[in-house]
Amino acid sequence: MGKILILLIAIFASSCETSFNQKPAEYIKELVAYKEGSDGIFIYFILADALGKMTANDGEISLRITASHYDHKQPIKLWEVNHNISKDQFKRGEAGIGPFKREILAYSFGRIPYDRFRYHMGRVISDNWRGKITLQFKTAHKVFTAEETIHF
């Protein structure tokens, strides 16, 4: 009996990890970007279906990080990436702490260190430039866009 129970728990746990909402995305539910350490930022996003439930989709992503300052007319492009992703690359995890802790299904760009940026970040940080994260996600039938502000 104990072996059967352990087997059932293992099967249930493995099926829960790989199963996710199969409905098509209707919008970007969240684009999250925050400073991590003194020399990098962490970025992930969550898609939602028509009912607002988290979902995963195949598609093409374009992520751009720019910096702007009131003394400069044009923002500067710091980093950009474009590539295809599959729904299998969306992972379950947890976000938040305490009573705000919740399960999420997200695609993570991970931690992006400032030394990967095209511009020396010393001046950007010391002069209090503001960053903007712009995400575009394209499926076979739709294009979604989201923006987030970050302070370096």
Residue 15 has pLDDT above 70, yes or no: no
What is the per-residue pLDDT for 8?
35
Taking residues 112-123, report their average pLDDT: 88
Burial class (CB in 10 A: 0-12, 13-18, 19+), 59: buried
Residue 133 near residue 43 (C-beta atoms within 8 A): yes
Q: Is the dihedral of CA 86, 91, 96, 100 positive or negative?
A: positive
Q: Return the CATH number at 7.
A: 2.60.40.1940
For residue 49, the enclosing domain spans 2-151
Rg of the Cα atoms in the chain = 19
Number of residues in the chain: 152
Residue at 61: amino acid letter: I
Helix residue spans in 64-128 (DSSP H): 121-126
* Spatial distance between the Cα atoms of 144 and 52, rounded to a whole number of angstroms: 15
What is the per-residue pLDDT for 6?
41
pLDDT band at 19 (very low <50, low <70, confident <90, very high): low
**Closest-CA residue to 93 (of 79, 110, 81):** 110
Q: How many domains does the chain have?
A: 1
Each residue's pLDDT tens digit, 26-64: 999 999 999 999 899 999 999 999 999 999 999 999 999
Residue 5 has pLDDT above 70, yes or no: no
Query: At CA 150, angle to CA 144 and CA 152, rounded to 5?
Result: 145
